[in-house]
Amino acid sequence: MLRIGIIYGGNSTEHDVSILTGLHLAKHVTEAYQVTLIYLTRDNRIVHGSRKIDDYISGKAAKAKKFKQWQKLACVVNCCHGGVGEDGTLAAVLRFYNIPITSCSSVSGWLQQSKIATRQVLTAAGFLQPRFQILNSSADLSLVELPLPLVVKPDLQGSSIGISIARTKDELRTAVDTAFSLGERVIVEEYIADMREVNVAVMREQNKIITSALEIVGGEKFFSFEEKYFNADSGFIKKGGQNPDDEFLNKIEKQIKFLAERAYELFNASGVVRVDFMVRGEEVILNEINTVPGFMAYHLWLKARVPYGVVIDNLVQEAIANHQKKQQFITYYDSKILAKNRHLVVEF
């Protein structure tokens, strides 16, 4: 039986959602694995996780013993939304310690977490993208040439946190200041009116890229963090129960899945990602890629008749296979450089 770690939490604005994802996933792990819970506190201390949600609400969970049993784990399932979980830091640390992780590599994760890098990579690859500008300081506001309304986003955030729609100059100033309070760089984008948001999840199964069912999210409305997670009529809670426009989805399904799979390969992604699109008429715009989606987008896989336990199996098996593949790469070269240049080093 393989022992796997499920890690969640972390110094991120999505800390609480991450706890829910981790604990929910742990309930669906099959009997093939022995589960160890690992909690990243709000200041990124690594402690043993609790199975009791009240321990996280009260703060008791953050006082648990430091987790040190990394070498006992066959794999770590990454459930950390935002922060070190999605910006590639956690993947880099675990690779340093030679431990497989179920999410994207450090480079791939950062490229997809950064809204600026994502836009740049997709634009260079020929994907249809909105016009955008990058701001490195709030003082750069005078350089914005795009017409209002504009969408303003902090570069390294998720779950709509810090994202605003600015329809006036005053709103633009407020939106930019808010975004800069969350990170060092900000992106402003043209507002796509009359669009519909469509999501699809992507992962590998036995080395083959597969996609989930499609989902329409919220019509033409922009969703804040609160609406995504707390409004039962519009967001996360009832996603699986929506009745989307089947004719609309059937028309765009092939194109959406093709673009999602292409992006998954382009970014050399791993694990489950959720790809979010904006559709307006014949235009299909890839908006962003979530490398650690809420609850691993399990509701989209269930719509595609892929049980959550199978999703977890795919994640773990791919992570271990990728890790084993990397172990085969040559990292040693017998250059004799030390012996040839010993005279350059002064003994001390």
Residue 116, both tokens: 């600026």
**pLDDT score for 26:** 97
Dist CA 294 CA 159 (whole Å): 9
> Across all residues in the chain, what is the average pLDDT?
91
Question: Is it the case that residue 315 has pLDDT exceeding 60?
Answer: yes
**pLDDT score for 140:** 80
Percent of the chain at pLDDT exceeding 70: 91
Output the pTM of the full model: 0.88
Q: Where are the beta strands (DSSP E) in 16-105?
A: 33-40, 46-48, 75-78
Q: How confident is the model at residue 297 (pLDDT cuts 50, 70, 90)?
A: very high
Dist CA 171 CA 41 (whole Å): 34
Domain with CATH 3.30.1490.20 in the chain: 131-190
pLDDT digits (tens, 9 = 90+) for 20-50: 999 999 999 999 999 999 999 999 999 999 9
Domain with CATH 3.40.50.20 in the chain: 2-101
Question: Is it the case that residue 79 has pLDDT exceeding 70?
Answer: yes
User: Residues in the chain, how many?
Assistant: 348
pLDDT: which is higher, 119 or 158: 119
**Which amino acid, residue 178?**
T
Dist CA 85 CA 89 (whole Å): 7
**pLDDT score for 327:** 87
Domain with CATH 3.30.470.20 in the chain: 196-321
pLDDT digits (tens, 9 = 90+) for 46-76: 999 999 999 999 999 999 999 999 999 999 9
The architecture of the domain spanning 2-101 is 3-Layer(aba) Sandwich (3.40)
Dist CA 327 CA 235 (whole Å): 42
**pLDDT score for 117:** 97
Q: How confident is the model at residue 348 (pLDDT cuts 50, 70, 90)?
A: low
pLDDT digits (tens, 9 = 90+) for 85-101: 999 999 999 999 999 99
**pLDDT score for 238:** 44
Question: Is it the case that residue 347 has pLDDT exceeding 90?
Answer: no
**pLDDT score for 346:** 72
Q: How confident is the model at residue 310 (pLDDT cuts 50, 70, 90)?
A: very high
Assigned CATH for 131-190: 3.30.1490.20
Backbone φ and ψ of 81, nearest 5°: -80, 135
By DSSP bridging, strand 2-9 and strand 33-40 are parallel
**Which amino acid, residue 239?**
K
Question: Is it the case that residue 159 has pLDDT exceeding 80?
Answer: no
- Give, in words, the CATH class of 196-321: alpha beta
